[in-house]
Amino acid sequence: DVALIRTGDRLRAEVATDHEGPLEIGILQNDGAYLPLLAPTALPLGAHFSDRAAKVDDHPAPGWLLAGHPDAVKHARETRDLTKVHVIPIRVQ
């Protein structure tokens, strides 16, 4: 899967969990900027929407949508090692 974005789009995450536990979701841009969509929180089983949305400005940037345990997301942000998180690449249209 790839998310194609353009100016004016709004991004919000939906996640379905099959176990309870902490989860964080955010957008990591190529330049290292990070925008959290779902702050680290413990979620019960089921489908959930992020509590925040991101509006794509006049200068959209590619990156990744990251989801996973908050420690794994922090590691991915710091090292760009995306192997321990769920990732959807974000590309500019």
pLDDT digits (tens, 9 = 90+) for 44-84: 999 999 999 999 999 999 999 999 999 999 999 999 999 99
Q: Is the distance from CB of 30 to CB of 63 less than 8 angstroms?
A: yes
Separation CA 31–CA 18 (nearest Å):
32
pLDDT digits (tens, 9 = 90+) for 3-50: 999 999 999 999 999 989 999 999 999 999 999 999 999 999 999 999
Which tokens belong to 30? 């190529």
Cα dihedral angle (21, 51, 72, 89), rounded to 10 degrees?
130
pLDDT of residue 38: 96
pLDDT of residue 1: 84
